[in-house]
A and B are shown apart, each in its own frame.
Chain A
Amino acid sequence: MSARPRVAVISGFGINCETETMAVFEMAGALADKIHVNRLVNGEVSLDDYHIMAVPGGFSFGDHLGSGRLMGNRLRFGLREQVRDFVRAGKPVIGICNGFQVLVKMGLLPGDDEVSLTQTASLALNDSGHYENRWATLEFDPDSPCIWTKGVSRMRVPVRHGEGKFVTDDRNLLDQWAETGQLVARYVDPSTEYPGASDEVLPYPVSPNQSWRNIAGVCDPSGLVFGLMPHPEANHSTWLGATWTREETEHGEGEGMAIFHNAVEYAASRM
């Protein structure tokens, strides 16, 4: 790869996965900068200088008033045009866990062609009513336009959230998003054959939060903006797997890296 894309990894106010999010982009060949939200708001740094934006996981503002809500507002009200310009310029954006919640609540996901920033879905409290950290298996829609998940069929990743149940108040939208390939990532029973994704809500803990249609992550209509509740960045090396001590493994990159390689290659190819 000739050019190294630059990644803006957003930080501040309780975002707390910026270290590993920077690390995975660097491992995938990009240059990652940690950028406090206020450095974008005060103009010290411009998103224009970056090729990829990542909103990492965490507990921005303590999840009070709904996870991702207050950080979503900081972006929606403080950075509205910067963010829209970035997306319209065809640059990839990812939101992981709390970052996904932020993108959904500011209306960037599942989103629309106009990037109108209108909220159409939400992430409700898990049916269990509490936070949980456990490993799940994801299956990706092979027909999705999502540039982040190209060529990846399944992936084992940890989920670590209390509010990850994907819902909407307009069920017709679900069919529409399924049609356009926006329901990219879904929880799946690892003992099934690929493809095994189902619309029926799978039993706990295969679906850790009882998300509608087992949705774990979605993309926007362009496939450039992607968000998911689980943490692919936390499976960056084989020795971080849940059962790696039981497996014959050639040690090296973990399953989660495929997502970051995809985006870095995509961005590099357009530089």
Chain B
Amino acid sequence: MDGRQPIVRMSGSDTVHAVEVTTRDMEGLPDARGDSVATMLAADYGIKVGGVRVNLGYLIKAEMSQDEVERSVYDLFADPVIEIGSSNEALLNSNDLFPHTPEAVIQVGFKPGVTDNAGQAGLDGLITLYPRLAGQSQVATSRTYMFWGLPEGTNPSELAAMIHNPMIERCAIAGADDCASARWPSLGFPDRPPAVFAEPAFVDLEVSDKQLEEISETGLLALNLNEMHAIQAHYRDPEVRVARESLGLPAGAPTDAELECLAQTWSEHCSHKIFAARINHKDNVTGESSVIDSLFKTHIVSPTLDIQKEVDWLLSVFHDNSGVIAWNDEWSLCMKAETHNSPSALDPFGGAITGIVGVNRDILGTGLGARPIANTDVFCFGPPDYTGDLPPGLFHPSRVFRGVHAGVRAGGNESGIPTVNGAMVFDERYLGKPLVYCGTVGIMPRRLSDGRESHDKTPSSGDIIYMVGGRVGSDGIHGATFSSLELTEESPSSAVQIGDPITQKKMIDMIIEARDTGIIQVITDNGAGGLSSSVGEMAELTNGAEIDLEVVPLKQAGLSPWEILVSESQERMTVGVRPEDCEAFETLALLHEVEATNIGEFTDSGAFVVRFADTPVAHIPISFLHDGCPQLQLESEWTPPQHEPFWPPSMSATGMGDVLSRLMARPNVASKEAWVRSYDHEVIAQTVIKPFCGVNHDAPGDAAVIAPLLGGTQGAVISNGITPRYSDIDAYSMAAASVDEALRNAVCVGVDLEMIAGLDNFCWPDSVESTKTPDGRYKLAQLVRANRAIDEVCRAYRLPCISGKDSMKNDVTMHGEKISVPPTILFSLIGNHNDVRKAVSSDFKCPGDHIYLLGETHQELGASELAYMFRDEGSGGIGGEVPRINPERNLAMYRALTSAMSEGLVASAHDCSDGGLAVALAECCFGSDSGASADISSLERDCNHLDEWGALFGESLGRILVSVSPEDSDAFAAAMKGNSCSRLGTVEVGDEITVSYGDTEALQASMSELKKAWQGSLGG
């Protein structure tokens, strides 16, 4: 190929035009895209390059004249002031623009069928210029990376592997020789191969058990033999057979669509079979032997229902897409958190952006539609500085981190939803599957103007079913069943998608307007399981639905009926509208440029009926769909694990300062500011307590406080707790600590303890005993213990769970190597704040202020961050006492503290978590550019065998470090009477942090040096 030929390509019958754009070479205008690539290569791979430039490419498949294409260059694709554009001519051919020949050029574009948001935007822009192009035209984007000053021996293919993901992207490479002769890489238009339409087929289930299992496995159905038997039995039922015959369906066998629909609805992902299982539980310590009939009902739902009898603000719990609380007389709040782990392992960016915009839709699909107003994100990754072996097929954790972060950033920012709170946890066991938790808070009026309560859905038989938003494609087929399986090298790329925040934003604007007009009767999102789930679930409310798949708008012609039914293509809601409101609904959709298609209606026929035009596709009784899945029977057995104990060395005061400095630099403790600042945390202009605080805006906050009614002073508190390390000793402690951490953080900003609600999000390794999981009984016992902790602690804190989720197969087997995540719970909390003007931040305020530690300190260093640090450095184990919880004692203190806050007696409050008191003390000093002096000898009062390691670095729960101005000190001490409250010392002018144990110096450190260590290890 001669690169100097004009690049007009033919693709099918359409002409493909190419437009290319580069940054203009002006003083004071860097090519910031190129510079970012250079920074990433240096940070993640240690490759220092002389220079990188990035050109943006657009392939336009449209009937346009060369003249029109040329005009579109500066009218649309290139900025006339800061960019240079060309049409149908490679910019690299210009000696003026690129006087030096690059050493390598890599062009990256999406694979066919992968969502290309920039391409979609380009097409929209083109239609603004040339309206006649609407309908048949397409735009695809690419990026061309040009490198100069590559280190000796750099292989362009390896370089390409660093900047593209072959799962979703294509690349073309020009090495030095190609560049010298101007043979530039040039990708063609990513034409989708035509889909092959298959008429509905039936699946013969009158086969051996082995074949039944094969049907499930090869079809990625994730159904076990018991479940296959249940389906088989259904189709043997004579009544069912007669009914099917009369409908023109195969009498004794499911259609492919029916089997897929059942597999989606019954998947672990959608129906939480392990949480619903009947468990024989044995405890080898206590001798207990008992039967648990559903962990979910016993330990999660039951405490909430008991609390619901005593409070009037729990409006909707567990059954909708998110839990709803009555925040005040006019407004309710709702919250949901989800995980998107498997897709994020395969494509970190796409998995994460799909995760965040997906949970936003859970809010939009709550009640009659809520508006998302705040996001939270919590990630668990392998260590970013990991240097060990990595099974082939897995990305390095720093790349997963970068991609997930970029995905959540794009998803949240572009949707205009502030990311107000989050956390990052690092552990080698997250190398296989990262955990990507995305949470969203929503707000809705208690009542609509027509008097309906907005947290209740009000569908009737006869309501029209609309599919709204994006179109259906072959992307996202089998997402729900896929995430119910472990990840292997054969995992399908079709399960990966890229979210499209702008399509979704248009849809959110439209839905909220439709809700306020009173024309929505029922709504839910299309997530896992696609239409089969969304319509299938809502059909339960009217006892039936009938849809026609032929009218469903497709991204690509030729999809088979079962694919249309289960595809999880994103940015879609399913909405029920009364026939008389359809015209108004469609007019709104048109205005917002949102596609809304009437695909059928709700009925009371008792069945979920699917047609493709006149061909019957599926007919499943609602009762069988939702209640036909047989309960799992599982075994669990608890024997506590044994660990080498933690043995601290003997240390001088400055040596302790050095230990603290190393601890501050651990990724679990270190500042995440460089990453968090690239989330918009203030859009909607409501964020009162932000992720960072202090005189230089760089000290860590605890919980977020928002004031969503602009100008109003009532607030909402949002916080998170996640402590997976403790499950290495006891998952009970892990779960208890997660709840306490979330509440402790909320208490630090002054939450109203009369209105707090929680979300439990479990991420577990496979805990069903099998040849693949020989330790399944132990892992299930961990799950039992964690559930019991949630039950007991939430009851004691009067903190009802209102929603939650579980992801139960977080294992990866790559080339025979299995990596399982540690049992992990994210506990998220949403609470009321009576007056945001009284909210408290974590930074010390003034030298001279008195420092208090609230809560009891015990010798609890088991599985602490300190113990892990020493273990990683080669000395000792992580064994010892893991933090125990006393929720009644903690709650009494939390009540006293929040009431002191409302009196204005508290200058700052910060929770003690990873790294204990010493880390908390340093962080409070960071916020005031000050030092501190403290004496920890009084802590012995609560624990007679407490040593200085336990006092400084132990992670006992229920502890908050507080500062109080000297004039308020007496009143504060009086307010805290009856609770453990130790005056430790004073905020000091200067840089010195000193801690003594009576007359003995225990720790000495420089605040600014600690801050340097804390800020230095996770730079952007």
Q: Does A6 belong to the interface (CB within 8 Å)?
A: no
Binary CB contact string for chain B from 61 to 102 against chain A (1 if under 8 A, 0 otherwise):
000000000000001110111110000000000000000000
Residues of chain B within 8 A of A236, CB atoms compared: 685, 710-711
Cβ distance B258 to chain A, nearest Cβ, rounded Å = 38
Q: Knowing A130-B36, A134-B677, say if A27 contacts B711 (CB, 8 Å).
A: yes
Mark out the residues of chain B between 383 and 426 whose CB falls within 8 Å of any chain A CB in the assembled complex: 409, 413-416
Selecting from B142-150, B499-507, B793-801, the interface stretch reads B499-507
Q: Mark A6-20, 1 if CB is under 8 A from B, else 0.
A: 000001111111011
Please tell me which stretch of B116-124, B615-623, B639-647, B946-954 contacts chain A, meaning at least 4 of its Cβ atoms lie within 8 angstroms of it: B116-124
Which residues of chain A (1-54) have a CB below 8 Å from chain B? 11-17, 19-20, 23, 27, 36, 38-39, 42
Map CB proximity to B onto A96-132 as digits: 1 under 8 Å, 0 otherwise: 0000000001000000000000011110111111111
CB distance from A33 to the nearest CB of B (A): 13
- Judging by beta carbons under 8 Å apart, are B124 and A122 in contact? no
Distance between Cα atoms of A66 and B125 in the complex (Å) = 12
8 Å CB interface, B581-608 against A: 591-593
A167 in contact with B29 (CB, 8 Å): yes
Assess the B695–A246 pair: CB atoms within 8 A.
Answer: yes
Is B688 a contact of A133 with CB atoms below 8 Å? no
Q: Do B121 and A65 have beta carbons less than 8 Å apart?
A: yes
What residues of chain B lie closer than 8 Å to A235, measured between beta carbons? 685
Q: Give A74 to B679 CA distance when docked, in angstroms.
A: 28
Name the CB-closest residue of B to A44. Answer: B591
CB–CB B32/A125 < 8 A: yes
**Cβ of B713 under 8 Å from chain A:** yes
- On whether the beta carbons of B685 and A14 are closer than 8 Å, the reply is no
Q: Which residue of chain B is the closest to A235 with respect to CB atoms?
A: B685
Q: CA separation between A133 and B684, bound complex, in Å?
A: 13
Contacts of B506 in A (CB 8 A): 12-14
Contact of B711 among A23, A78, A234 (CB under 8 A): A23
Q: B697 to A135, Cβ gap below 8 A?
A: yes
Per the 8 Å Cβ criterion, residues 233-257 of A in contact with B are 233-237, 239-240, 242-243, 245-246, 251
Residues of chain B within 8 A (CB-CB) of A61 are: 121, 124-125, 502
Q: Are A59 and B502 also in contact (CB < 8 A) when A20-B684, A119-B80, A160-B683 are?
A: yes
Across the interface, do A245 and B684 meet the contact criterion of CB distance under 8 Å?
Answer: no
B539 interface hit (Cβ, 8 Å):
no
Indicate if B452 sits at the interface (CB-CB under 8 A). Answer: no
Contact (Cβ within 8 A) A129 B32: yes
| In contact, B121 and A64 (Cβ under 8 angstroms) | yes
B129, CB-defined interface residue at 8 Å? yes
Looking at the complex, which one of A16, A158, A242 makes contact with B505 (CB distance below 8 Å)?
A: A16
Instruction: Contact check, B32 vs A124: say whether CB atoms are below 8 A apart.
Output: yes
Please indicate the chain A residues that have their CB under 8 angstroms from the CB of B121 in the complex: 61-62, 64-65, 70
Cα A19 to Cα B413 in complex, Å, equals: 16
Interchain CB contact under 8 A, B683 and A16: yes
The verdict on A105 contacting B79 (CB below 8 Å), with A59-B414, A64-B121, A134-B697 known, is yes
Once the chains bind, are A70 and B128 in contact (CB under 8 Å)?
yes
Inter-chain contact A240/B685, CB cutoff 8 Å: yes
CA distance A78 to B128 in the complex (A): 8
Q: Is A212 an interface residue (CB 8 A)?
A: yes
Contacting residues, chain A, for B688 (C-beta < 8 A): 239-240
Residue of B80, B593, B685 with most partner-chain A CB within 10 A: B685
Q: In the complex, A27 Cα to B1020 Cα: how many Å?
A: 39
Contact B118 A62 (CB under 8 A): yes
A121 CA to B710 CA, complexed, in Å: 34
B687 at the A/B interface (Cβ < 8 Å)? Answer: yes
**A243 and B157 alpha carbons, distance in the complex (Å):** 49
B contact residues around A261 at 8 Å (CB):
none
- Which residue on A lies nearest to B80, using beta carbons? A119
Among B120, B413, B688, residue most surrounded by chain A Cβ atoms (within 10 Å): B413
Query: Which residues of A sit under 8 angstroms from B694, Cβ to Cβ?
Result: 243, 246
Closest to A78 in B: B128
Chain B residues lying within 8 Å of A231, measured Cβ to Cβ, are 682, 685
A73 interface residue per 8 A CB criterion: yes
Q: Is the CB of B843 within 8 A of A246?
A: yes
Q: Known interface pairs A38-B593, A133-B677. Does A65 touch B82 (Cβ–Cβ under 8 Å)?
A: no
- For A69, the chain B residues whose CB sits under 8 A away are 76, 79, 125
Query: Known: A61-B502, A125-B33. Is A73-B837 also a contact (CB below 8 A)?
Result: no
**Cβ of B990 under 8 Å from chain A:** no
A132 engages B678 (CB within 8 Å):
yes
In the bound complex, CA of A66 to CA of B506 (Å): 19
Chain B contact residues, CB within 8 Å of chain A: 23-24, 26, 28-30, 32-33, 35-36, 39, 75-77, 79-83, 117-118, 120-122, 124-125, 128-129, 409, 413-416, 501-502, 505-506, 509, 591-593, 677-690, 693-695, 697, 707, 710-711, 713, 836-837, 839-841, 843, 845, 1020
| Pairs A-B, 6 closest by C-beta atoms | A16-B416, A64-B121, A129-B36, A20-B685, A125-B32, A23-B710
10 new A-B contacts, CB < 8 A, other than A17-B683, A237-B711, are A12-B509, A13-B593, A39-B591, A57-B683, A63-B414, A124-B29, A131-B409, A234-B683, A236-B685, A240-B707
- In the assembled complex, 12 residue pairs joining A and B whose CB atoms fall closer than 8 Å, in A order, are A23-B710, A39-B591, A66-B79, A70-B128, A77-B128, A125-B32, A129-B36, A131-B678, A167-B81, A240-B685, A242-B693, A246-B694
